[in-house]
Amino acid sequence: MHLLRLNLAVAASGFRRYATYRVATVAGVFTNTVFGFILAYTFIALWYERPQLGGYDQSQALTFVWIGQAMLATAALMGGGFQDEFHERVRNGDVAIDLYRPVDLQLWWFASDLGRAAFQLLGRGLVPMAVGAFAFELTLPSSPTVWLLFLCAVFLAVVVSFALRYLFALCGFWLLDAAGLGALSTLMSVFFSGMLLPLTVFPGAFGEVVLWLPWAATLQVPADVLLGESGGGGLAGLGFQLAWAVVLLVAGRLLQAAATSKVVVQGG
């Protein structure tokens, strides 16, 4: 009960911290929308040449674009969020403060990242999606059940994204300056989440493999759940996400134990 209240408070603070920067949010919405239009016209050109590419019709492909824009900040597909902050705290030694607190490091950052994601979904997710739906003919489900499943998939996408970024961030304890690793993490995320192109369009063995990587859980799966392309009425997708979430969070715990036991607090 105490733990729940603490983590709700942490999540609320994460929400408020992002809500403080209104101009940044407006700028973000604008960027997402512009980026959405560019991708949308690229996809229109692609699907005009190759209808049914990746198993989607053109309207589904456009829906995929705008889901991607809504998820970009929410699931921190292009990095950022707690990851930069955590890197910085490890690099300059402020992590010492986090370590002497009576809280679990992973749970703390998880709660604060969920708070951030909740704000980004409302602040930077809804508007680009609405603009996309207004400007293009999107394939959106009418069933509230599908929307509910989609919300679950978005939540799990945030969890998997957090768990992945936490693993990358923890490497900072060994590398001391993990900026390069952060860039790698972003690159992997942008490509393997399906943000550049839906993962289903890739042919052959590569196309098979990318669908099983954890990044698929951060955009490809939620999009398929909303588009009705995920098996078992969407439950297969959610199961896939849940499995990766558990595996990655446990890996994060193990790596965290190793990192903090050999911690060298830098500076001061």
Partner 1 sequence: MQEDAGGAVRDTDGAFIDVTDLRKTFSVRRRSGLLRRTSTEVHAVDGISFTLRRGEMTGFIGPNGAGKSTTIKMLTGILSPSGGRLRVAGVDPARDRTRLVRRIGVVFGQRTTLWWDLPLRDSYGLVRRMYRIPRARYEENLARCVELLELGGLLDVPVRQLSLGQRMRGDITAALLHDPDVLYLDEPTIGLDVVSKARVREFLLHLNAERGTTVLLTTHDLSDIEHLCERVVVIDHGRLMYDGALAGLHEVGRGERTLVVDLERELPPIEGIAGARTVRTEGPRQWLTFPATASAAPLVSRIAADYPLVDLSLREPAIEDVIARMYAA
Nearer to partner 1, 45 or 176 (CB): 176
Q: How far is the CB of 108 from partner 1 (least distance, A)?
A: 9
Mark residues 184-223: x for contact with partner 1 by CB under 8 A, - for none.
Answer: ----------------------------------------
3-state per-residue secondary structure call for the chain? CHHHHHHHHHHHHHHHHHHCCHHHHHHHHHHHHHHHHHHHHHHHHHHHHCCCHHHCCHHHHHHHHHHHHHHHHHCCCCCCCHHHHHHHHHHHCCHHHHHHCCCCHHHHHHHHHHHHHHHHHHHHHHHHHHHHHHHCCCCCCCCHHHHHHHHHHHHHHHHHHHHHHHHHHHCHHHHCCCHHHHHHHHHHHHHHCCCCCCHHHCCHHHHHHHCCCHHHHHCHHHHHHHHCCCCHHHHHHHHHHHHHHHHHHHHHHHHHHHHHHCCCCCCC
Nearer to partner 1, 97 or 187 (CB): 97
Q: How far is the CB of 9 from partner 1 (least distance, A)?
A: 5
Interface region with partner 1, contact rule CB under 8 A, candidates 28-36, 163-171, 236-244, 260-268 = 260-268
Tokens (6 digits) for 48: 């005009």
Q: By CB under 8 A, what part of segment 91-130 binds partner 1? A: 93-94, 96-97, 99-103
Q: Is 45 in the site for partner 1 (CB under 8 A)?
A: no
Nearer to partner 1, 16 or 50 (CB): 16
Q: By CB under 8 A, what part of segment 8-27 binds partner 1? A: 9-10, 13, 16-17, 20-21
Q: For residue 163, which of 69, 244, 70, 71 has the smallest C-alpha distance?
A: 244
Nearer to partner 1, 4 or 205 (CB): 4
Q: How far is the CB of 263 from partner 1 (least distance, A)?
A: 7
Q: Is 265 in the site for partner 1 (CB under 8 A)?
A: yes
Cβ neighbours around 37 below 10 Å, total: 18
Q: Is 1 in the site for partner 1 (CB under 8 A)?
A: no
Nearer to partner 1, 7 or 230 (CB): 7
Q: By CB under 8 A, what part of segment 123-182 binds partner 1? A: none
Cβ neighbours around 18 below 10 Å, total: 21
Nearer to partner 1, 95 or 225 (CB): 95
Q: How far is the CB of 267 from partner 1 (least distance, A)?
A: 8
Residues that bind partner 1 (CB under 8 A): 2, 5-6, 9-10, 13, 16-17, 20-21, 93-94, 96-97, 99-103, 263-265, 268
